[in-house]
A and B are shown apart, each in its own frame.
Chain A
Amino acid sequence: MNRRIFTVSTLSAAVGLALAAQVPQALAQGMNNPPPIVKQNIERAMAQHLEKCFGINAVAKNDCAEGAHSCAGQATKARDPGSFVLLPAGDCSKISGGSLKAG
């Protein structure tokens, strides 16, 4: 069904489709085949979370390690080589299929 379109017609066809479609939805509805790209639903809450998360970035990254304490050497301290934490203890345990043995 979904035959390769000959090279010679690809560009003009693409331009025609792009110009004809004012919005992606119109393109999807006008096509015989399913859209090649399936947009995933990103809920508004997720978007807000990201904006918040990355809104902080620009400040925090260039901050002298988040305020006054770093300059007194009290921020996340450089770890002693002997005190490295080498066992993941985050949300990976909530994802099935992951066994959490060290190494």
Chain B
Amino acid sequence: MPTLHELQNDVARGLIGRDTAAAALHVVGDGLAPAARLAVYRNTIVAGLTTALRLSYPAVHRLVGAAFFESAAQLFLEARPPRAACLDDYDPGFADFLAGFAPAAAIPYLAGVARFDWAVSRALHAPDAAALDPAALGAVDAADEKRLRLVPHPSVGLVRADHPVDAIWRAVLAQDDAAMAAIDLAAGPVFLRVRRDAGGGADIARLEPASWRFTASLCAGATLHDAIQAAGEVDAATLLATHLIDGVFTAFTVGDADGRQPMETLP
């Protein structure tokens, strides 16, 4: 008799991997070959995970076509099966997988589109959170800017891509052939902010490179002072005001200079 752990490992190898031999030893056929019985589960898992990826990466799916997508998805899910039960979280690693996927090398913008797909999916599925009231920030002393950090709303994502992935994304999802033909892949990089708007849709904005760096630094937990320093030439006040109006932040902390220990946290 195998231990439960051994049995689970054997079955997992049969379902996610392709080696059903060990698992089949433990399956009672009863009119259907053990391998065929396992295949029912395997197909269900593969189809479910592929569907999850297709729904999270709709523009990638359009770009490469269903057959290619399913093949890529299956290779991916065998290499990186889900670690958590929620399929909405499966899986941010697909973009990196596509970046290194040789058959997709002819589509240099594919991984960028995948990252954007994921950011939109995250924006639409992130939990609700109340926006930070700008008035609450008004209570912070200006001298504390070196210790002020802002907490981004869970729906906010920042994507930098070498190609106009937002335009590609929009064109393929709208099935707009003219827009697809008009895309200039050499137009240069795009710096994008994605969030969920009040109506529950995706709000997509293009930022100037310095503005994006400032925003990305802030969202990554840098102090306001450090974010300004890192960004270079940027109208930080106007940009921060715009983000506040858009509900990009939900809270702030005023910690010590290293930010290790917040002295106060306000909603």
Contact = CB atoms under 8 A, between A and B. Distances in A.
Interface residues of A, number: 77
A88 B51 contact: no
B244 interface: yes
A14 B65 contact: no
B237 A13 contact: yes
A49 B263 CA distance: 45
A14 B237 contact: yes
B58 A53 contact: yes
Top-7 shortest CB links A-B: A90-B65, A17-B241, A13-B237, A14-B240, A18-B134, A75-B47, A85-B67
B137 A49 contact: no
B30 to A, nearest CB: 16
Given A53-B173, A94-B180, A79 B43 contact: no
A11 B137 contact: yes
A15 B137 contact: yes
Given A76-B47, A88-B64, A62 B87 contact: yes
Contacts of A46: 170, 173-174
A7 B145 contact: yes
A12 B138 CA distance: 7
A5 B93 CA distance: 38
Interface of A: 2, 4-5, 7-19, 21, 23-24, 27, 31, 33, 35-40, 42, 45-47, 49-51, 53-54, 56-58, 60-66, 70-79, 81, 84-92, 94-103
17 contacts: A4-B236, A7-B146, A17-B237, A19-B135, A40-B205, A54-B125, A61-B87, A63-B51, A66-B51, A73-B44, A77-B46, A84-B71, A84-B74, A86-B68, A89-B67, A97-B185, A98-B107
A2 to B, nearest CB: 6
Given A8-B145, A66-B51, A94 B177 contact: yes
Given A11-B140, A15-B137, A56-B55, A97 B186 contact: yes
